[in-house]
Structure 1
Amino acid sequence: MGINAKELPLGDVFTPEYRLSIPSFQRAYIWKPENILQLVNDLLEACKTPQTPYFLGSLILVREGDSRFEVIDGQQRLVSLSIIIAALRDLELDPEWMGLLDKLIVDPGDKLRGIANEPRLTLRERDAAFFREYVQEGNLEALFDLTDEDWTTTAQRNITRNTKRVYDELSSLGEEERRAFASYMVKMVTLVIVTTDDLDGAHRIFDVMNMRGLPLTASDVFKARATSALKPAELDAYAARWDDIMDPLGDDPQSIEEFFATLHMILTHKHSTDKLIEEFLSDVLQRHIDAGTVPGFIDRTLAPYAAAWQVIAHAPDTVLPDEVKTLLEALNDYRNHEWKAVAMWVLVHSYRHLGSPDVSPFASRGSRAARTNATAETLGAHDARRLVDVLTALERVTGVDTLNRVGSFVRRGHATAAIRDLDKGYPTNLVRGLSIRADDRTGALVRLHGEMQGDEELIRLLLIRANEQAAGAHLARPRKLSALTIMPLDVERSASFANWTQDDHDYWMYRLGNMVLAQGAQDQLDRMPEYAQRRDRILMRADSRRFPLTGGLKDFNECTPAMLRHRQEETIRLIAEYWGIRYDENHTDLTAQDADPIADVAPKPVHGSRRVTIRQVVKAGLLIPGERLVWDRPRKGERWYATVTETGRFRLDDGSEHSSPTAAAKAAAGGKASGGLDVWKRTSDGVKLSEIWKRYRQQAA
């Protein structure tokens, strides 16, 4: 078995030298938006030091002949990197830059030599055509227009959602920032390429590199360095003490690294980079080794902060006051974890005996039971008011940052500033990093008034906050809780919405007033076009009715624009009250205003990846009522025509009208079509609708 390993920049991997494919026996693409956004944010932060390389791990490849390789390990990163490059290409306006980015994910081929273009990376057979058509070949507009019914695999859903989230994240950057980011990825993001000619050998390499033989975690490295400085009489006792402290945190290397990175930030007020082990050793442990204070570090620093980490992860099982447990549960709703540093700091400084080997913060039941039962008092509770005040302010700023799509670098800055001021003894109301500025508040209110398409997790969180504010208490949540729309996406076949204008439907479809929490799956209303059907299904379960804004549907026999406006205003008011952003410095109720005056003083929202409607394109003058569109399928001998109407719809030759290109394509092809933006062309110049939609998005940005 011949093995070759070398480190290469990304720009040397996405070349004709490596034609990569995912074998059929591999699992599907499983990364979720939080995974790919973490990668984007890590790379954006690394880009701030453009001369420092960023190591992205290893790829394990099996040679299939010449430059063709099967990917044994690295699929998730390769697909995600392709998505990031595709989003950068789609946001680019300069043809030269677009071409350079395009070559990273699609080999242009050579017509003169009869070499066809092909993607640098080919997915499993079930998803390869989807990924190539929509992402690699640059049809993101068509991808953004897809709905749940258009996905045939979970991987396709993940590809769609991840692409939208990455597009939104990168669209908030300026043109030069995006280009600097692209250059950094190509030149400074590196991978170790491990190649072999033998599949069995590749799997053995995979096993070794994934450390199935008891890996050394960051904790193992730090323990070895710390205990090496102890006296022989202390060594056994403190090695065992280290294990007792760290074992409850589990053995997941990523989680252990996150804990130590957070502890590093708390102790040094600095952000850790991808060199965590080196930095923690030099910035934290070495001074204790030099001073001979390693036992004190283990007992008075490592132990209480590890206990705080556990308290945060399992708040309901603790003996802490209900108000504290509720606040920690609320913080755990957020997919970003920068808040953990501040929460750990305030827990450690609020309980003197947190981390003591004799007292546990957990209730006596379950596997985390203490050897002696504990209460908040036996934990040495003090400064109870400060604990609640800090956690309340922390949840508020985390919520507003999440709503405003603040990047990880800024969120870490908030946490660092907060800890620095808390270390100085500042009262909570003067702590930087825990306060909300006027432009943060107005930006959040503008977002609440606007469309919420494409981020189900954020929508669900906002609705939970509104319902808990309405209930005046923490609400138990069913295991499966979804945010559903009161109106269906397509109202053409619904008698309940016959009197609605298309403008009203498009306006309310993706706003909070049209959304409601319900137990069950996201697709449970898909085949219910009538309001009464949808309402009764939502209210069928008691676990749904316990949410006040959901239960309120029983009082409405019809869904009208006035009803949704009422729900929108109530929901925004409740969320603003929950986060304390309802009033400005002059005590003016900002929720009583229309969105437009607030937007005048707020940062302009990014247009992002939200779905573009036919009406918007018509109003922008990019399509003209009366224009004719054609969809040719020469292999099947089929051709369909559609006409753009004054009301922003597509009328087929059979007289039926449809509110989206995909709906029109499905109707024409008998329900067997998707990606309508990519099939319809304007008869006058042959331009695809996906190109027209992209022009609209660029104008609106």
Structure 2
Amino acid sequence: MGRVVVRDAKGGNDMAISATEKPLSRVFMSDYRFTIPSFQRAYTWQAENILQLVCDLQDASASANTPYFLGSLILVRNGDCKYQVIDGQQRLISLSIIIAVLRELETDPVLLEELDELILEPGNKLRGITAEPRLRLRDRDAEFFRSYVQEGDLEGLFDLRDGDFETRAQYNISTNARQVFDELAKLDDDDRHRFASYLVNQVTLVIVTTDDLAGAHRIFDVMNMRGVPLTASDVFKAKVVAAMSPAARNVYAARWDDIMDPIGDDAQVLEEFFSDLHLVVSHKPMCTQLLEEFRKDVLSPYINEQHVISFIDELLAPYAMAWRVIDQPTDSTLPDDVVRQLVLLNDYPTSDWKTVAMWALVHSIGNLGNADVEIVTGSPTRGETEDKQTNREPIRMHDGTRLRTILQALERVTGVDSLNRQSPLVRRTRMANAIRGLDRGYTMPQNKGFLITDEDRRSALAHLRGELQTNPKMNRLLLIRANEQLAGGRITRPRSLNAMPILPDRVAKDSPFAAWPESVRDFWSARIGNLALTQANEQQLTPLQTFKERRDRMLMSASSKRFPLTEQLAHIDDCTAKTLQWRQDETIRLIAEFWNIRYDEGNTDLSVLDEQQLTHGSSSRTPNAKRVTIAQVLASGLLIAGETLVWERPRKGERWVATVTDDGRLRLEDGNEYSSPTAAARAVGGASAGLSVWKRTSDGCKLSEIWKTYRMQKR
């Protein structure tokens, strides 16, 4: 790769383009100052996106000398070492978050400094380089990202609540930082250093640069829209058909198309399908080099034994049909109770469960791979006549009981692992173990892939009892489970259904909720007892400040009243903290019963235990990104009741003093008390103030440093 000059077909001007592949150690350096232009979209990566990247890198780092290509960046020069990012901002921001978390977890001062320099340019007077972050986001999010992520105030970031974020991008940054922290904190020092070294030296990007903005957009179009690159299906089809006899090639090339065309031509979806099929066959949880590993582990045995036709008829066809059924269960001709179980599984934001569901369908329906089987309704297969449609054979389910048992157990372990925020590697390892056990004919109690331990139960219920650290889709799922458990069966869902808070996110001064102690509002703001299923959305509820207004808007649609926990709001005239506590206890009990995790092996009712009782004695010794409270730091002895904290603002001539109370709050000089340092700071300093502004008067130590010490004591 190098520098080339191309002629602009529209204007006739020469346009210099350079393309070079570089490791991250050569990307996050003084030669590049990245800016996200204001016209670019915001940061949209979700937790599952960044966790998948971390998991892929962890798996790849096992082969330390094998590079990991992460795609391309398209840049426009904007002066010496300055570049506008036209394509690649999602990866740059996510990589910066990963590096910031590695820096936060690092104790070696040399490595800490090296990680710091990857995201913060230290400056060089001789070269005329000023000290500043290597990546600048759009104006709305730049200061937020700089202060919390790039400058290393993750403690302040973890102390924020949902109402503290001004944009969705800021919420995504916070959520993703928490998720990455929890994942990387599980590694010991050696594994984390190995991961960091691999990230810096073996992860590569192709840097495509030009001087012309319009030209950069044309490059983007060419790289992303012109031409149709080969998909995994195209590659595997070519290998399989080439291994057939000439007489069979045309017939089975068409057969392959008939099987795969209904899945679509989205390259990512096709990769997911073949990765899942690879796990089913090989029992290997991760597949980082799909084309090579699928050929070696799946195709080669069929090719070597000259049974490639059986690969298509006996493996590809039934599993492709199973994939289609899973994707659109309500369009299938399966029994209603099986459809319901597949609908429940599709509620999850993760998809690792599909591997076991595919296995269960293929091994329970004898003719699933037959071309004439009638299992998915809708448009006919390419070239299929109307007469042929009417003559399609019905499904032959030979083991419906086992299918239902597997799907029920699968939904249970998926739910518990989702609540416990298990990594993709852990989830897929569980699925691989489940399929291995099923292949060996183990009973369900013998199959460790479906095993839920007492520690799993306690951890899941602790997450339910505490502040929810799940995304909106998972919150909605939890409430659906609780409502259907209470209703005793499936509830028909409206097209739009949201898990919305009973308390307003931002309480106005004239709101009745303003009379609640701030600490009580703070406690309930992120707990499941404060949520209800409704067709109302955030935009409709945000302006409403009284319980009656919010309740009536939630119940406006008759569809919302189908859910008993929501319908109960109609019988409540005034919402109190006791109301939310009752809803919390009831919801947790219902979810625990739905997943059969209410009782441990000693028959203790775990659903009635508080968060501290559930986590007491846990074997986990890794820190996590859960918000640290003043009360916890007091109990640890790192902070003492009666100590004073100060926030000096000499440029504004302001000095704010707070006193630590014995019940875990900060009392300002005006007598108002707050349950979090961020809440106290924002009460006097505005929306941008956070935990890190407070210093202990006795030694000048920042609260963020004290909070980090507490968090890392778990190690």
Same-fold call, TM cutoff 0.5: yes
CA contact (8 A) 2:500 2:537 kept: no
CA contact (8 A) 1:88 1:182 kept: yes
Unpaired stretches in structure 2, ≥5 consecutive residues: 6-15
Which of 658, 664, 667 aligns to 1:643? It is: 658
Question: What does the per-residue CA deviation read over 1:289-322, in whole Å, with 9 as the maximum and x for residues that have no partner?
Answer: 3333222222222111111111101011111111
Measure the CA separation in 2 of the matches of 1:274 and 1:683.
Answer: 52
Instruction: Indicate how the Cα distance of structure 1 residues 208 and 344 shifts in structure 2: closer, same or farther if over 3 A, else same.
Output: same
1:557 is paired with a residue whose SS is: coil
CA contact (8 A) 1:364 1:373 kept: no
CA contact (8 A) 2:522 2:675 kept: no
**Map of 1:456 onto structure 2:** 472
CA contact (8 A) 1:307 1:354 kept: yes
Measure the CA separation in 2 of the matches of 1:389 and 1:428.
Answer: 8
Measure the CA separation in 2 of the matches of 1:140 and 1:602.
Answer: 25
Which of 247, 255, 258 aligns to 1:233? It is: 247
**Map of 1:630 onto structure 2:** 647
**Map of 1:697 onto structure 2:** 711
Pair 1:305 & 2:319 matched: yes
Measure the CA separation in 2 of the matches of 1:207 and 1:129.
Answer: 31
Pair 1:218 & 2:235 matched: no
Instruction: Indicate how the Cα distance of structure 1 residues 295 and 29 shifts in structure 2: closer, same or farther if over 3 A, else same.
Output: same
RMSD: 3.3
TM-fit CA distance, 1:521: 2.4
**Map of 2:571 onto structure 1:** 555
TM-fit CA distance, 1:596: 4.8
Instruction: Indicate how the Cα distance of structure 1 residues 601 and 476 shifts in structure 2: closer, same or farther if over 3 A, else same.
Output: farther
Letter in 2 for 1:330: L
Letter in 2 for 1:445: L
Letter in 1 for 2:400: A
TM-fit CA distance, 1:610: 3.3
Letter in 2 for 1:641: W
TM-fit CA distance, 1:3: 4.0
Measure the CA separation in 2 of the matches of 1:60 and 1:133.
Answer: 26
**Map of 1:153 onto structure 2:** 167
TM-fit CA distance, 1:659: 4.5
Instruction: Indicate how the Cα distance of structure 1 residues 151 and 504 shifts in structure 2: closer, same or farther if over 3 A, else same.
Output: closer
TM-fit CA distance, 1:502: 6.2
2:141 is paired with a residue whose SS is: helix
Letter in 1 for 2:101: A
Letter in 2 for 1:11: S
**Map of 2:9 onto structure 1:** none
TM-fit CA distance, 1:155: 2.4
**Map of 2:485 onto structure 1:** 469
Which of 529, 545, 548 aligns to 2:561? It is: 545
**Map of 1:518 onto structure 2:** 534
Measure the CA separation in 1 of the matches of 2:34 and 2:325.
Answer: 44
Letter in 2 for 1:446: A
Letter in 2 for 1:237: V
CA contact (8 A) 1:492 1:658 kept: no
Matches within 5 A, 1:310-329: 310-329=324-343
TM-fit CA distance, 1:174: 3.5
Measure the CA separation in 2 of the matches of 1:676 and 1:545.
Answer: 40
Letter in 2 for 1:275: Q
2:62 is paired with a residue whose SS is: coil
TM-fit CA distance, 1:471: 1.1
CA contact (8 A) 2:35 2:84 kept: yes
Measure the CA separation in 1 of the matches of 2:32 and 2:309.
Answer: 51
CA contact (8 A) 1:450 1:511 kept: yes
1:226 is paired with a residue whose SS is: helix
TM-fit CA distance, 1:227: 1.4
Question: What does the per-residue CA deviation read over 1:67-112, in whole Å, with 9 as the maximum and x for residues that have no partner?
Answer: 3333232211111000111122223344333222111101111468
CA contact (8 A) 1:618 1:625 kept: no
2:573 is paired with a residue whose SS is: coil
Question: What does the per-residue CA deviation read over 1:596-652, in whole Å, with 9 as the maximum and x for residues that have no partner?
Answer: 554345444866333344555556553653625235262xx4525243263655555
**Map of 1:135 onto structure 2:** 149
When structure 1 is superposed on structure 2, of 278-287 and 683-692 the one drifting more is: 683-692
When structure 1 is superposed on structure 2, of 544-553 and 364-373 the one drifting more is: 364-373
Matches within 5 A, 1:52-63: 52-63=66-77
1:382 is paired with a residue whose SS is: coil
CA contact (8 A) 2:72 2:88 kept: yes
Instruction: Indicate how the Cα distance of structure 1 residues 684 and 597 shifts in structure 2: closer, same or farther if over 3 A, else same.
Output: closer
Instruction: Indicate how the Cα distance of structure 1 residues 686 and 119 shifts in structure 2: closer, same or farther if over 3 A, else same.
Output: same
**Map of 1:482 onto structure 2:** 498
Instruction: Indicate how the Cα distance of structure 1 residues 444 and 93 shifts in structure 2: closer, same or farther if over 3 A, else same.
Output: same
TM-fit CA distance, 1:488: 4.8
When structure 1 is superposed on structure 2, of 396-405 and 44-53 the one drifting more is: 44-53
Measure the CA separation in 2 of the matches of 1:655 and 1:576.
Answer: 42
Pair 1:281 & 2:286 matched: no
Measure the CA separation in 2 of the matches of 1:149 and 1:413.
Answer: 36
Instruction: Indicate how the Cα distance of structure 1 residues 541 and 289 shifts in structure 2: closer, same or farther if over 3 A, else same.
Output: same
When structure 1 is superposed on structure 2, of 81-90 and 57-66 the one drifting more is: 57-66
Letter in 2 for 1:456: P
TM-fit CA distance, 1:361: 1.1
When structure 1 is superposed on structure 2, of 194-203 and 218-227 the one drifting more is: 194-203
Pair 1:44 & 2:61 matched: no
Which of 408, 417, 423 aligns to 1:407? It is: 423
**Map of 2:39 onto structure 1:** 25
Question: What does the per-residue CA deviation read over 1:647-701, in whole Å, with 9 as the maximum and x for residues that have no partner?
Answer: 65555555555554444455435xx532333445556665544444434433467
Which of 452, 469, 479 aligns to 1:436? It is: 452
Measure the CA separation in 2 of the matches of 1:304 and 1:191.
Answer: 38
Matches within 5 A, 1:648-687: 648-650=664-666, 656-668=672-684, 673-681=687-695, 687=701
When structure 1 is superposed on structure 2, of 466-475 and 388-397 the one drifting more is: 466-475
CA contact (8 A) 1:629 1:641 kept: yes
Letter in 1 for 2:646: L
Instruction: Indicate how the Cα distance of structure 1 residues 481 and 214 shifts in structure 2: closer, same or farther if over 3 A, else same.
Output: same
Question: What does the per-residue CA deviation read over 1:333-380, in whole Å, with 9 as the maximum and x for residues that have no partner?
Answer: 222222111111111111222232222312358999995568998112
Instruction: Indicate how the Cα distance of structure 1 residues 664 and 424 shifts in structure 2: closer, same or farther if over 3 A, else same.
Output: closer
When structure 1 is superposed on structure 2, of 648-657 and 18-27 the one drifting more is: 648-657
CA contact (8 A) 2:59 2:288 kept: no
TM-score of the superposition, structure 2-length normalised?
Answer: 0.88
Instruction: Indicate how the Cα distance of structure 1 residues 573 and 632 shifts in structure 2: closer, same or farther if over 3 A, else same.
Output: same
2:194 is paired with a residue whose SS is: helix
Measure the CA separation in 2 of the matches of 1:274 and 1:15.
Answer: 28
TM-fit CA distance, 1:259: 0.5
Unpaired stretches in structure 1, ≥5 consecutive residues: none
Instruction: Indicate how the Cα distance of structure 1 residues 261 and 354 shifts in structure 2: closer, same or farther if over 3 A, else same.
Output: same
Instruction: Indicate how the Cα distance of structure 1 residues 665 and 576 shifts in structure 2: closer, same or farther if over 3 A, else same.
Output: closer
Letter in 2 for 1:102: D
Instruction: Indicate how the Cα distance of structure 1 residues 370 and 394 shifts in structure 2: closer, same or farther if over 3 A, else same.
Output: farther
Letter in 2 for 1:45: D
Measure the CA separation in 2 of the matches of 1:425 and 1:578.
Answer: 27
Pair 1:378 & 2:394 matched: yes
Count of aligned residue pairs for this structure pair? 697
TM-fit CA distance, 1:503: 6.1
Question: What does the per-residue CA deviation read over 1:534-553, in whole Å, with 9 as the maximum and x for residues that have no partner?
Answer: 43443333333222222223
Measure the CA separation in 1 of the matches of 2:294 and 2:339.
Answer: 30
2:375 is paired with a residue whose SS is: coil
